[in-house]
């Protein structure tokens, strides 16, 4: 039989959502959790669950591949508890943290102690089962446990996966299949202020490594029934939960479908961070510029969603992806919106200036000193040249060496223990720089140029964009050393052409400047007052469309 092209086919046979992990209490697969699940845009289970509408069934991208597994692995759980336990133990390689507890004469609970809350398990599962056994009443274990996150499990592989996800599996002698109870407990970090996107004002909370916590952070900001959360499992071995968030009717359907398809078609052993996903799904993976915005701030994700964008959260990472993004968006910071519009506008222009300085300052310095002396005012030139007296290297090599040295210092500072890292960086810059100047290896102005470049690069709010600028600085430097301003301008034109040709989830990356859409300019060229632009979805659209009125449900 021909294998289905889309791995969705397996789920269509009625095995959806086996790896779904409920996000909130009361949203499990137990019968009394069905209402809660619908709020997360889950399609109903069963044969109709795999319609093209978004929902849990799309995790079946993985399921489809499993549909091609050996027939033996597709076996159902049998009625013999002892045999099932033995098979599960064998399938998992008899791990030392696999615990099998007998709760009655004919019942067994299996769980991995390293992933499970034993206290909750004892209180909510084992104790009710033991009480039921003692009372002599015949109660189905799925109904006896006192926590709602209980789902029936039929397939053997599904039971294995439940154990690996941290759930407990209940088996009863003589009963085909079993129950999976969500009593997971992972070590998790407390919500803390953002480290890579700090701000003096605005909310001081950042994502953590737990997907449920991250979802709750976003939900707290968007308490609307239009918020859609789709979960997709990515990674053949890591089985990582990925959540796609968007506001129904506001996000462009083609963008959502586009993103969903890309995630579904991923065929990788594993993803360990959201950055993996970004590289795997973005439009231009060879580009130094990011195709999706990476952020650790829930308010940034919320703003993207309010503007009609899509966000991706991933379990195990404290960063989220948001898109479609634009070059302009990457130059904006959340703090722009937490201060007055005039200050925000000024800071934005400063940031643009900083980016320009970070990119071209060394190359302009080299061009001026090598090719275009006449562009420097005489007194300044004499000062510059006096500093270069005795320096044995041409300006381009001097600049390259200093830039590389700075990058090495920066990288070494990151690897240093936190206690000595800053001190080391300062010592590196001051001591080594001063020593290099005294030794006549570099000119004092070169230190100024490198320092200015370094400081300016920190003005770029998005780290991925800042890294792209860092990388581009070196070819620009080489071009300036060979060709002067001509080389710099030629390379900048090439970069500009590349940027104009880029797309992010289908949206032109240089929008609204190219293509020109003046309607979106108030929040692009400046930080216009809120009444003029607040959360207008055309920002993330490449054409002007009638906007839905979410408040009236249209």
369 binds another protein (CB under 8 A): yes
Return the number of the residue (226 or 498) whose C-beta is nearest another protein: 498
C-alpha closest to that of 259 among 315, 212, 316, 309 = 309
Burial status of residue 380 (CB atoms within 10 A of its CB: 0-12, 13-18, 19 or more): exposed
| Shortest distance (Å) from residue 444 CB to another protein | 9
Cβ(300)–Cβ(294) under 8 Å?
no
Sheet holding 310-314, edge to edge: 227-234, 240-247, 310-314, 320-323, 293-295
Cβ(307)–Cβ(539) under 8 Å?
yes
Residue 248 main-chain phi, psi, to 5 deg? -60, 145
Return the number of the residue (458 or 482) whose C-beta is nearest another protein: 482
Helices 378-388 and 444-457 cross at an angle (nearest 10°) of 100
| Shortest distance (Å) from residue 378 CB to another protein | 5
Return the number of the residue (398 or 523) whose C-beta is nearest another protein: 398
385 binds another protein (CB under 8 A): yes
374 binds another protein (CB under 8 A): yes
Q: Which of 59-67, 287-295, 325-333, 476-484 is the region at the interface with another protein (rule: CB under 8 A)?
A: 476-484
483 binds another protein (CB under 8 A): yes
Return the number of the residue (290 or 487) whose C-beta is nearest another protein: 487
Q: What is the 3-state secondary structure (H, E, C) of 367-404?
A: HHHHCCHHHCCHHHHHHHHHHHCCCCCCHHHHHHHHHH
**Where does 236-282 show beta strands of DSSP type E?**
240-247
474 binds another protein (CB under 8 A): no
395 binds another protein (CB under 8 A): yes
538 binds another protein (CB under 8 A): no
| Shortest distance (Å) from residue 388 CB to another protein | 5
Return the number of the residue (137 or 379) whose C-beta is nearest another protein: 379
Break the chain down into helix, strand, coil percent, rounded to 5: 50, 10, 40
User: Could you say which residues in the range 485-524 bind another protein, by CB under 8 A?
Assistant: 485-487, 490, 494
Return the number of the residue (118 or 370) whose C-beta is nearest another protein: 370
| Shortest distance (Å) from residue 483 CB to another protein | 5
Return the number of the residue (396 or 429) whose C-beta is nearest another protein: 396
373 binds another protein (CB under 8 A): yes
List all residues 6 or more positions away from 369 whose beta carbon is below 8 Å from its beta carbon.
Answer: 384, 388, 395
CA 266 vs. chain centroid, Å, equals 15
Q: Which of 48-56, 247-255, 306-314, 482-490 is the region at the interface with another protein (rule: CB under 8 A)?
A: 482-490
The Cβ of residue 357 has, within 10 Å, a number of other Cβ atoms equal to 19
Return the number of the residue (143 or 383) whose C-beta is nearest another protein: 383
Cβ(509)–Cβ(536) under 8 Å?
no
How many Å apart are CA 174 and CA 310, to the nearest integer? 47
Return the number of the residue (404 or 490) whose C-beta is nearest another protein: 490
Select the residue interacting with another protein from 389, 543, 551, 552 (CB under 8 A): 389
Cβ(275)–Cβ(300) under 8 Å?
no
Q: What is the 3-state secondary structure (H, E, C) of 500-527?
A: HHCEECCEECCCCCCCCCHHHHHHCCCC
The number of residues making up the chain comes to: 554
How many Å apart are CA 317 and CA 300, to the nearest integer? 16
Return the number of the residue (287 or 370) whose C-beta is nearest another protein: 370
| Shortest distance (Å) from residue 386 CB to another protein | 2
Report which secondary-structure segment, H or E, holds 111: strand 107-112
Select the residue interacting with another protein from 92, 99, 268, 381 (CB under 8 A): 381
CA distances from 25 to 22, 30, 151, 168, 182 (A): 7, 11, 13, 16, 10
475 binds another protein (CB under 8 A): no
136 binds another protein (CB under 8 A): no
| Shortest distance (Å) from residue 437 CB to another protein | 13
Return the number of the residue (342 or 383) whose C-beta is nearest another protein: 383
362 binds another protein (CB under 8 A): no
392 binds another protein (CB under 8 A): no
138 binds another protein (CB under 8 A): no
365 binds another protein (CB under 8 A): no
User: Tokens 């990151």, residue?
Assistant: 414
384 binds another protein (CB under 8 A): yes
387 binds another protein (CB under 8 A): yes
Return the number of the residue (222 or 381) whose C-beta is nearest another protein: 381
Q: Which of 47-55, 214-222, 382-390, 510-518 is the region at the interface with another protein (rule: CB under 8 A)?
A: 382-390
Provide the binding-site residues for another protein, judged by CB under 8 A.
369-371, 373-374, 378-379, 381-389, 391, 394-395, 482-487, 490, 494
């Amino acid at each position: 039989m021909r294998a289905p092209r889309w791995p969705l086919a397996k789920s269509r046979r009625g095995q959806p959502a086996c790896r779904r992990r409920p996000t909130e209490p009361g949203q499990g697969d137990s019968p009394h959790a069905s209402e809660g699940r619908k709020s997360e845009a889950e399609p109903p289970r069963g044969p109709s669950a795999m319609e093209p509408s978004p929902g849990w069934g799309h995790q079946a991208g993985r399921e489809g591949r499993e549909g091609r597994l050996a027939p033996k692995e597709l076996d159902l759980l049998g009625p013999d508890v002892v045999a099932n336990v033995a098979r599960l133990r064998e399938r998992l390689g008899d791990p030392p943290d696999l615990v099998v507890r007998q709760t009655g004469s004919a019942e067994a609970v299996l769980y991995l102690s390293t992933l499970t809350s034993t206290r909750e398990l004892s209180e909510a599962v084992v104790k009710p089962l033991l009480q039921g056994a003692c009372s002599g009443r015949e109660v189905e274990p799925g109904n006896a446990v006192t926590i709602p996150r209980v789902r029936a499990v039929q397939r053997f592989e599904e039971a294995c996966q439940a154990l690996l996800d941290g759930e407990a599996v209940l088996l009863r002698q003589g009963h085909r299949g079993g129950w999976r109870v969500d009593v997971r407990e992972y070590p998790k970090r407390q919500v803390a202020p953002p480290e890579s996107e700090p701000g003096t004002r605005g909310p001081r909370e950042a994502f953590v490594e737990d997907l449920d916590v991250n979802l709750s952070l976003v939900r707290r900001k968007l308490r609307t029934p239009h918020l859609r959360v789709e979960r997709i499992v990515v990674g053949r071995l890591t089985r990582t939960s990925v959540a796609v968030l968007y506001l129904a009717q506001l996000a462009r359907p083609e963008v959502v479908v586009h993103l969903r398809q890309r995630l579904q078609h991923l065929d990788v052993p594993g993803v360990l961070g959201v950055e993996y996903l970004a590289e795997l799904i973005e439009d231009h993976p060879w580009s130094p510029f990011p195709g999706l915005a990476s952020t650790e701030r829930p308010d940034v994700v919320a703003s993207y969603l309010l503007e009609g964008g899509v966000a991706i959260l991933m379990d195990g990472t404290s960063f989220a992806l948001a898109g479609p993004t634009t070059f302009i968006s990457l130059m904006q910071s959340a703090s722009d919106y937490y201060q007055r519009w005039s200050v925000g506008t000024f800071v934005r222009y400063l940031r643009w200036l900083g980016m320009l300085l970070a990119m071209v300052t060394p190359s302009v310095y080299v061009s001026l000193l090598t090719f275009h002396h006449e562009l420097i005012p005489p007194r300044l030139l004499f000062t510059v040249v006096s500093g270069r007296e005795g320096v044995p290297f041409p300006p381009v090599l001097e600049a390259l060496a200093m830039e590389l040295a700075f990058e090495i210092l920066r990288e070494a500072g990151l690897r240093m223990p936190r206690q000595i890292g800053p001190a080391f960086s300062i010592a590196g810059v001051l001591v080594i720089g001063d020593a290099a100047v005294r030794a006549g290896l570099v000119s004092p102005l070169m230190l100024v140029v490198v320092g200015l470049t370094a400081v300016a690069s920190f003005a770029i709010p998005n780290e991925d964009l800042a890294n792209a600028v860092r990388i581009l600085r070196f070819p620009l430097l080489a071009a300036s050393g060979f060709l002067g301003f001509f080389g710099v301008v030629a390379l900048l034109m090439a970069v500009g052409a590349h940027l104009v040709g880029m797309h992010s989830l289908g949206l032109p990356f240089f929008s609204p400047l190219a293509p020109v859409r003046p309607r979106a300019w108030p929040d692009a060229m400046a930080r216009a007052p809120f009444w003029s632009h607040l959360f207008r979805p055309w920002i993330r659209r490449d054409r002007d469309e009638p906007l839905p009125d979410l408040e009236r449900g249209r």
